[in-house]
Amino acid sequence: MQVWKFCRLFDPAYVGLATMQNLHADIMCHTSIKVLGDAAEGLKAELAAYKVTATGVQADCDLCGFWRTHGSLFPNLNAAAKIAATIQPSSAAAERVFAMLKWMFTKQQGGTHEDYKVLSLLLRYNECWRLKVEKARLAIDEP
């Protein structure tokens, strides 16, 4: 939920209608995206001018076009928008992990200690990932 609140900052239609108090609260959600570090002050500094620019923008506007046109005016927000655009809005990875967990532990093993389940799952997931990477590397090396 925190990531979603932060990401809506990059929709100018939302920003144009939101209160400054809500926008400041949304900026504080940036901590859920580790790669942004301590970006809050830079984002807050550009917020008022961004809100003025975003006022009147329609909900169906071209977001990429907006940021291409106005991104240079808001360098901190523009950099954060590029990071936010790379966030995958999918639960497929989490679903794969839960499927793997279900496959690894039967109902009879439901009482297994949680630490053991986590460790086993991490080892299995990392092994699957290592095999995928190795397979891809072999495919690249083949003539």
What pLDDT is stored for residue 142 in this prediction? 60
Query: What does the buried/exposed string (b/e) look like for 33-62 if buried means 16 or more CB atoms within 10 Å of the residue's CB?
Result: beebeebbebbeebbeebbebbeebeeeee
Secondary structure (3-state) at 123: helix
Structure-token pair, residue 56: 């009147």
Q: 0.75 cut: is pTM over it? A: no
Each residue of 61-101: pLDDT tens digit?
A: 888 899 999 999 999 889 888 888 877 666 777 787 778 77
Residue 6: is its pLDDT beyond 70?
Answer: yes
What pLDDT is stored for residue 34 in this prediction? 64
Instruction: Give the mean pLDDT of 4-31.
Output: 84
Whole-angstrom Cα distance, residue 77 to residue 43? 6
Tokens 């927000």 label which residue? Answer: 77
Enumerate residues 6+ apart whose C-beta is below 8 A from 104: 117, 120, 121, 124
Residue 32: is its pLDDT beyond 70?
Answer: no
Contacts 24+ apart (CB under 8 A), 13-21: 13/54, 13/57, 13/58, 13/59, 13/61, 15/50, 15/51, 15/54, 16/51, 16/54, 16/55, 16/56, 16/57, 18/51, 20/47, 20/48, 20/51
Each residue of 94-138: pLDDT tens digit?
A: 787 778 777 777 777 777 777 877 788 778 777 777 777 777 777
Whole-angstrom Cα distance, residue 125 to residue 95? 13
Q: Answer whether 56's CB lies under 8 Å from 32's CB.
A: no
